């Protein structure tokens, strides 16, 4: 399938062998993944005791406790469960930018990142869904854990152009109301919007008890402003084009952009949201392996 070749690089997947996405908090569900559910049953791992009531299964009576207390208690266990991961992909017009030092546009890089994460989640028998957005949700693919689900996700990515203006803050509020079952929400995009508005939207997702990860995809030219000659800068997302002398603007631009990054990262950290800067000139496997390995150490 052409889009699987386009967005899933076998060399990248090979270098991520042994790494996966684990939730840091207990997740909801009952299926067959590697995470634990807050719902109690009688299955895999011991959780706690509770008093016997008529009709309970006598196989789970704890006779050692009975011998000490002369009371009947049952062992309860936590069930194995699926993590539910929602990939939230920014498809606003600014994502189509590709500077002179990058091999991929931001959107292409973000799609490769989303496809790789989806593959890793499905490989560990967990569920993954996909949301694409600009000023509103454009597609909403519900999470599934079937390995063939990757085909639908790749198809949606293939047919998700970057065309419209973004409104990420409002979008995150909308998404927080839609996603009832807590899990991991991974936002992948350039997040060119008002920082307090973005952070409030992300905070809403955290308030809904989701674990939130921000993978901030930026082109190196946006970070460094490496232009020298008089240049016409084409406006995106309804901004006008302008002709400017880059050398006269570079210092102020870089300072302003770095302050934007600091505010966004501080806002994420304040609400216990993981923040990762993903430059499109950095190999995808290095960005993901570094982050996924860091999660295993925490």
Local mean pLDDT, 10-residue blocks, the chain (298 residues): 71 87 55 44 49 65 83 60 87 91 93 96 92 93 89 92 84 93 94 94 96 97 77 54 66 90 97 97 95 84
Same domain membership, residue 137 and residue 97 = yes
Confidence at residue 252, expressed as pLDDT on a 0 to 100 scale: 84
Q: What is the pLDDT of residue 59?
A: 72
Chain centroid, CA 134 distance in Å: 16
The secondary structure element, H or E, covering residue 115 is helix 106-123
Full residue range of the structural domain in which residue 151 is found: 2-26+83-297
Other CB atoms within a 10 A radius of the CB of residue 205 amount to 23
Domain count, the chain: 2
Task: Please tell me the distance from the alpha carbon of residue 2 to that of residue 4, in angstroms, as a whole number.
Answer: 5
Q: What is the pTM of this model?
A: 0.78
pLDDT of residue 4: 55
Residues 187, 276 within the same domain: yes
Q: Are 202 and 214 spatial neighbours (Cβ–Cβ below 8 Å)? A: yes
**Based on the domain organization, do 71 and 97 belong to the same domain?**
no
Whole-number pLDDT of residue 145: 87
Q: Are 116 and 162 in a shared domain?
A: yes
Alpha carbons 78 and 209: distance in angstroms, whole number: 19
Pairwise CA distance, residues 268 & 203, whole Å: 8
In this structure, the answer to whether residues 108 and 42 fall within a common structural domain is no
Q: What is the reported pLDDT for 118?
A: 96
pLDDT tens-digit readout, 176-219: 999 988 899 999 999 999 999 999 999 999 999 999 999 999 99
Same domain, 20 and 154: yes
Per DSSP (E only), the strands in the chain are 35-41, 45-51, 73-81, 84-90, 127-133, 137-144, 184-189, 211-218, 231-233, 242-244, 274-279
Residues 17 and 70 in one domain: no
Residues 65 and 139 placed together within one structural domain of the fold: no
Question: What CATH number corresponds to the domain at position 105?
Answer: 3.40.50.410
Terminal-to-terminal C-alpha distance of the chain: 37
Q: According to the model, what pLDDT value does residue 78 have?
A: 41
Same domain assignment for residues 58 and 174: no
């Amino acid at each position: 399938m052409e889009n699987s070749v386009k967005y899933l690089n076998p060399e990248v997947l090979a270098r991520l062998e042994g790494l996966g996405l684990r939730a840091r908090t207990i997740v909801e569900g009952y299926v067959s993944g590697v995470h634990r559910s807050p719902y109690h049953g009688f299955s895999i791992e011991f959780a706690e005791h509770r008093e016997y009531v008529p009709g309970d299964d006598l196989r789970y009576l704890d006779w050692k406790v009975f011998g000490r207390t002369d009371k009947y208690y049952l062992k309860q266990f936590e069930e194995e469960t699926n993590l539910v991961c929602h990939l939230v992909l920014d498809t606003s017009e600014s994502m189509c930018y590709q500077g002179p030092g990058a091999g991929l546009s931001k959107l292409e890089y973000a799609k490769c990142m989303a496809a790789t994460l989806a593959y890793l989640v499905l490989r560990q028998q967990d569920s993954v869904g996909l949301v694409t957005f600009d000023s509103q949700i454009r597609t909403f693919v519900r999470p599934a854990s079937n390995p063939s689900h990757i085909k639908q996700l790749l198809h949606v990515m293939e047919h998700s152009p970057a065309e419209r203006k973004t409104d990420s803050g409002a979008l995150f509020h909308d998404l927080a109301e839609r996603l009832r079952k807590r899990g991991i929400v991974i936002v992948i995009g350039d997040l060119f919007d008002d920082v307090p508005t973005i952070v409030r939207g992300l905070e809403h997702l955290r308030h809904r008890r989701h674990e939130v990860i921000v993978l901030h995809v930026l082109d190196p030219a946006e970070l460094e402003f490496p232009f020298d000659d008089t240049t016409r800068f084409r406006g995106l997302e309804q901004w006008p084009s302008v002709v400017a002398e880059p050398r006269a603007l570079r210092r102020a631009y870089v300072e302003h952009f770095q302050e934007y990054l600091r505010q966004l990262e501080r806002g994420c950290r304040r609400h216990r949201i993981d923040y990762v800067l993903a430059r499109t000139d950095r190999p995808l496997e290095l960005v993901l392996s570094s982050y996924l390995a860091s999660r295993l150490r925490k």
